Chains A and B, each alone.
Chain A
Amino acid sequence: MNTLPHPDEYEIIQRCLDGDGDAYAVLVDRYQAMAYTAASRMLGDADLANDIAQESFIAAYSGLRQFGFRSKFSSWLMSIVLNKCRDHFRAVRETVSVDSIAEVRATGRRDPEQEASARETTDAVQIALNRLPPAYREIIILKHIEELDYQEISDILGIGIPALKVRAYRGRELLRQALTGTGVER
């Protein structure tokens, strides 16, 4: 890890562990946009993203004792968010999916009906991201929305940097193709 955590992070987490749960609100304020954006871009569904982002903070709070400062809190939180998104995709794939929109997002296959309705929100970026398989969506979000360096992404995803670069390069090309035809002004 080559970037340092926020200077007061240690102190806040200590206070939470000592019983001052209210201190946690500082971390929730600080990282909610990050968590919500990542979940929203992964899932393409604002309400679900809200749920998952909140649950991630709650899970992080529960696991605080074991967090042990082995990484930045934000990296750890982000890996929880992404894990929950993956769990959601797996659950969607395993059930007989009545909700084809969710299934498409879970697998990244194109669905014209879903795209038509998404287009109404003029969120071309989301349409394009929805077309990427989840693993590529993750790397685009981490590299180009969160703008993290490869070392930190490696800490979050637990994948070696060379493999990450392969994924990022391919992801960018898929993204470029996906953006074609969404009518976005470049």
Chain B
Amino acid sequence: MKNRTVFPTLLIVLGAAMAAALLPAAPVSAAGSPPNGVAQALERSSLSASERAEVAERVREAARAGIPSEDLEIIIGRGLDRGVDAATLGSFLDTAVRTKQQGLPVRPVLDRVQQGLSKNVPPARIDAASKRLAGGLEKARPLVDGLLQGGMAPGSGDAREAALESVARAEEQSVPDSVLRATGEKVRAQGQTLTQFERTVRTLTFLNEAGMPSEAASRVVQRGVEHGFTERDFGKLERNVNEMVRQGRSMDEIVSAAEREIRESRGGAPESRGRDRTGGGREAGGRGGRGR
């Protein structure tokens, strides 16, 4: 008998309490204190009092430098859960802060740390990989800014950040500097934008990772640029190359097929897409409804 009133009343009280808990979840935290989630994670951890203070100070510093609190909460929370020590956590934050302070995009560095922690990569390795990326972003700057200063239009709001990241990743995959510069020149000669350059760099990196030698990849990509390849065209090129790799074709075959595909295209006009019959059936199913 009593359950009929007690139970719903309790539920309503619980609902009200949860609603009340929603209010303080607004993003602003008191200046000078680390984000809520960080404080709680430190509390739960097995760090000593001095280590906690050290981490909290680094977090405050990072927040002041403009690193978003959600990212800090994730890195510290996930890191402590996985037993990362205070010094390494500090190193993660340090890399991000320095990247941000140099006016370079920090999102790729934060993403790499968060990803490494999620994937249970050993912390020392995460540290090395994030520093490597930060260094790559720095090295990419002269090339990207050089293109912009030489008159290349950005093409979209985040073109510079995207290009810096893609060039950094390309160098990480050992795409030679000379190839990147030559591609930049080609894009500029065609009067194309930095966004389009960024797209070609991504394709270059993809082809390189797929095993294509740099000179061949460079040729293929530059030919695509000459033919006015769009984002979609490069995407299709990547898918076709991927399919051929999966089929076990030799790299020579793949390079010829790629070059042929570019030659036969009319700068990405719709008619040319229907002609593809070499993609092993995946392209045929790709139109309409798959949503990808």
A–B: direct contact at CB < 8 Å: yes
Stretch from A21-29, A140-148, A155-163, A171-179 contacting the other chain? A155-163
In the complex, what's the smallest C-beta–C-beta distance from A90 to chain B, in angstroms?
7
Q: CB distance B82 to A83 under 8 Å?
A: yes
Residue of B nearest to A155 (CB): B122
Produce 1/0 per residue, B43-70, CB < 8 A to A: 0101000000000000000000000000
What is the interface size of chain B, counting residues whose CB is below 8 A from a CB of the partner?
A: 15
Considering the complex, give the chain B residue whose CB is closest to the CB of A63: B120
Q: Once the chains bind, are B81 and A159 in contact (CB under 8 Å)?
A: no
Nearest-neighbour CB distance to chain B for A98, whole angstroms, equals: 20
Q: Inside 8 A of A135's CB, which chain B residues have their CB?
A: 46
The segment from B83-91, B145-153, B163-171 that touches chain A is B83-91
Query: Is B77 in contact with chain A by the CB < 8 A criterion?
Result: no
Q: How many Å lie between the Cα of A90 and that of B41 in the bound state? A: 12
Q: How far is the CA of A163 from the CA of B89 in the complex (A)?
A: 14
CB distance from A121 to the nearest CB of B (A): 27
- Name 22 interchain pairs, CB-CB below 8 A, sorted by A: A66-B119, A70-B125, A71-B122, A79-B122, A82-B83, A83-B82, A86-B82, A90-B44, A90-B81, A133-B46, A154-B124, A155-B122, A155-B124, A156-B122, A158-B85, A158-B88, A158-B122, A158-B124, A158-B125, A159-B85, A160-B88, A163-B87
Q: Is B224 an interface residue (CB 8 A)?
A: no
Report the nearest B residue to A79, measured CB to CB: B122
A134 to B87: give the CA distance in the assembly, Å.
Answer: 18
Say whether B184 faces chain A, with CB atoms less than 8 Å apart: no
Query: Given the complex of chains A and B, what is the CA–CA distance between A94 and B40 in angstroms?
Result: 13
- A66, A90, A93, A159: the one contacting B124 at CB < 8 Å is A159
Instruction: State the 7 A-B residue pairs at the shortest beta-carbon distance, nearest first.
Output: A158-B123, A158-B122, A158-B124, A159-B85, A86-B83, A163-B87, A135-B46
Q: Which residues of chain B from 178 to 192 have a CB within 8 Å of any chain A CB? A: none
CB nearest neighbor in A for B80 = A90
Residues of B within 8 A of A133 (CB): 46
Give chain B nearest CB distance to A24 CB in angstroms: 20
What are the residues of chain A within 8 A of B122 when measuring CB–CB? 71, 79, 155-156, 158
Nearest CB in chain A: distance from B84 CB, A: 7
CB distance from B168 to the nearest CB of A (A): 22
A interface residues, Cβ below 8 angstroms from B: 66, 70-71, 79, 82-83, 86, 90, 93-94, 133-135, 154-160, 163
**Distance from B279 Cβ to chain A, minimum over Cβ atoms (Å):** 26
Q: Which residues of A contact B83 (CB under 8 A)?
A: 82-83, 86, 157
Q: With contacts defined as CB atoms under 8 Å apart, how many contacts are there between chain A and chain B in the complex? A: 39
Given contacts A83-B120, A90-B81, contact A160 B46 (CB under 8 A): no
Shortest distance from the beta carbon of A62 to any chain B beta carbon, whole Å: 12
CB neighbours (8 Å) of A70 from chain B are 125
Min CB distance B248 to A, Å, is: 15
Is there contact, CB below 8 Å, between A159 and B123? yes
Please encode chain B, from 5 to 43, with 1 for each CB lying within 8 Å of some chain A CB and 0 for all others.
000000000000000000000000000000000000000
Q: Which residue of B lies closest to A164 (CB)?
A: B85
Q: Which residue of A lies closest to B83 (CB)?
A: A86
- A63 shortest CB reach to chain B, Å: 8
Question: Could you tell me the distance between the alpha carbons of A133 and B45 in the complex, rounded to whole angstroms?
Answer: 12
Give B153 Cβ to nearest chain A Cβ, in Å: 41
| A62 to B123 Cα, complex, angstroms | 21
Q: CA separation between A154 and B122, bound complex, in Å?
A: 9
A163, B125: Cα distance in complex, Å: 16
A residues less than 8 Å from B81 (CB atoms): 90
List 4 additional contacts besides A158-B88, A160-B87, A160-B88; criterion CB under 8 Å: A83-B120, A94-B44, A158-B122, A158-B125
Whole-angstrom CA separation of A135 from B45 in the bound complex: 12
Minimal beta-carbon separation of A89 from chain B (angstroms): 9
For residue B87, which residues in chain A have a CB less than 8 angstroms away from its CB? Answer: 159-160, 163
Specify which chain B residues have a CB less than 8 angstroms from the CB of A157 in the assembled complex. Answer: 83
Q: What residue in chain A is nearest B91 (Cβ atoms)?
A: A160
Cα separation A163 to B90 with both chains bound (whole Å): 14
Instruction: List chain A residues, Cβ under 8 A from B84.
Output: 158
**B120/A160 in contact, CB under 8 A:** no
Which residue on chain B has the smallest CB distance to residue A66?
Answer: B119
Q: Shortest beta-carbon distance, A130 to chain B, in Å? A: 16
**For the complex, what is the distance from the CA of A163 to the CA of B83, rounded to whole Å?**
14
Q: How far is the CA of A71 from the CA of B88 in the complex (A)?
A: 20
Chain B residues whose CB sits within 8 angstroms of the CB of A90 once the complex forms: 44, 81
Q: Which of B44, B85, B119, B125 is packed against the most chain A CB atoms within 10 Å?
A: B85
